[in-house]
Structure 1
Amino acid sequence: MRTVYVNGQFVPEGEAKVSVFDRGFLFADGVYEVTSVLGGKLIDFAGHAARLRRSLGELEMRMPVEEDELLDIHRELVRINEIDEGMVYLQVTRGAAADRDFAYPGEEVEPTLVLFTQSKPGLADSPAARAGIKVISIPDARWGRRDIKTVQLLYPSMGKMMAKAAGADDAWMVEDGAVTEGTSNNAYIVKDGTIVTRQLGTEILHGITRAAVLRFAREAQMKVEERAFTIEEAQAADEAFITSASTFVLPVVEIDGTAIGAGAPGPVAKRLREIYLEESRKAGI
């Protein structure tokens, strides 16, 4: 049985408890982060911690613990649960007020902090990375502040199920004719050697893996263009791929039934995945 962390205590998962009045449960009033683990070390922890602070600030919530303590909690969970490859999930909510109320509770209510691990052997050597994935396009029906990593993930979950029903692996969301992002990842295409991905804004999540991959791409002298693109443009691209903390760099080989390029993972996505994994392993903490 896994050990999880709940509000200052490490407990067996079967004994973990959160109040029924917790605002994360009642209002999705909370944020989260997922940090990957490779070789027992945390990948991009500083980036995830910085984004957590930003998300909390945008929602006028406070950090429940200092960053050093947060790192210690992550490391202890990885150690206790013997995670070699996998993820650490973190969630902060506004806490549990005395009763249900749309208005925020006062400062006397402590935030809820929950963390747990997921063991994913073979995370780095993913069969999906070798074969590529298929995606469909769906309308983007989410709220307008996707730059805040909130726990309100119902529509992305619906998108995953739409993809599954269509015999695909994931969905890319489209708004005003342009791709925003995948259900749980940032989206990219490659055309004539140029990597194209949507610019940062409130329309997409500011991916930590996205930032690292774009930095590595520029360091490798690859051309990067941050702008919106359409599904039609993606279908005519030489390559496509996604990035996220749990998939790293993952090639996309089909969009809405149209093969991308040769219908197999392309050289740019392959190389970026190699660089990301190599650099991340070296920088893990």
Structure 2
Amino acid sequence: MTRTVYINGQYLPEAQATVSVFDRGFLMADAIYEVCAVLEGKLIDCQGHFTRLRRSMAELSMNLELSDDALLEMHRTLIEKNALDEGLVYLQLTRGVVDRDFAYPPEDTPPTLVAFTQDKAIVESALAKRGARVATQPDLRWHRRDIKTTQLLYPSMAKMAAKAAGADDAWLVEEGYVTEGSSSNAFILTQDNVLVTRELSTDLLHGITRAAVISLAEDEGLAIELRAFTPDEAKSAREAFMTSATSMVTSVISVDGHLIGSGAPGPVADKLRAHYLEHSRAHAM
């Protein structure tokens, strides 16, 4: 089945959905994006993703005339046209088409908005069942990681370096502390049953799933500390896990080859994953 792709107000077969070579997203990575998970044909946490999209737009002085209701309708139309039951909807907004220049184009330059669906097994994830192995890599990204830009080359490099080391993913480390994963937020559960994850700042992405999981953990009565932690703290933790729109809650079972706990997905992470799935289904749109 040929996918239907959204581009600037049109729904087109993917082979016909093209963007100009002069688009600033292509030339300058002058673009932001969001990814919404889809379960049973419905969107998960989409309002949080739309809110973060607006925040990224404001930080980069980008404009988009579409309302959140219009964005929701576009997402739902893509899901319907592609008969998507489980997977994701990817949205990307660029500053538009203009001759190459480091200076921003005039404010009235029309932006480019594209979106597409992708089938992906989220609930029955093989990685979530066995747990992820991570390898630490230096965090060499720019210092506005709170803006969800398409500048993803270094996270890709870090992920590939982790895979070359026999791991599934990377945890990025700066000044001795874990910032986040290559495409996820990082958590540990201490031996004293305190859930630790880094506080929000420009150093990391303000994860939508992260926020939901923290709220669910509070409902479970878990003590929570918002602070940075070291790789050694992670290695000595009772459990560790990562969160993102597509991984939801996925246990981390080793760091740099050092097993965490029993070396299997932990009960707290598994419980939070189950609660998150239940919460997501109940509030899906």
Distance 2:65 2:75 in 1: 14
Counterparts in 2 of 1:107-186, with a 5 A limit?
Answer: 107-120=107-120, 122-186=121-185
SS of the residue corresponding to residue 158 of structure 1 reads: helix
Q: Which amino acid aligns with 1:118?
A: Q
**1:278 alignment counterpart:** 278
Deviations 1:93-135 (A, max 9, x none): 00011x1111000023101000000011x31111211110100
SS of the residue corresponding to residue 261 of structure 1 reads: coil
Distance 2:235 2:140 in 1: 22
Distance 2:80 2:251 in 1: 32
Distance 1:202 1:147 in 2: 5
Distance 1:17 1:262 in 2: 49
SS of the residue corresponding to residue 202 of structure 1 reads: coil
**1:5 alignment counterpart:** 6
Q: Is the 8 A contact 1:64 1:113 kept in 2?
A: no
**Alignment gaps of 5+ in structure 1:** none
TM-score normalised by structure 1 residue count: 0.98
| 2:217 is the counterpart of 1:220 | no
| 2:24 is the counterpart of 1:55 | no
**1:65 alignment counterpart:** 66
SS of the residue corresponding to residue 97 of structure 2 reads: coil
Deviations 1:219-270 (A, max 9, x none): 1111111100000110000100000000000000000010001111111100
Distance 1:273 1:208 in 2: 14
Q: Which amino acid aligns with 2:161?
A: M
Counterparts in 2 of 1:36-47, with a 5 A limit?
Answer: 36-47=37-48
Q: CA RMSD of the aligned region, Å?
A: 0.7
Count of residue pairs the alignment pairs up = 283
**2:230 alignment counterpart:** 230
SS of the residue corresponding to residue 155 of structure 2 reads: helix
State the shift of 1:161 in Å: 0.6
**2:76 alignment counterpart:** 75
Q: Is the 8 A contact 1:64 1:111 kept in 2?
A: no
Distance 1:79 1:53 in 2: 25
**Percent of aligned pairs with the same amino acid:** 59
Deviations 1:10-69 (A, max 9, x none): 000000111111000011001000000001000000000000000000000012411111
SS of the residue corresponding to residue 213 of structure 2 reads: helix
SS of the residue corresponding to residue 180 of structure 2 reads: strand
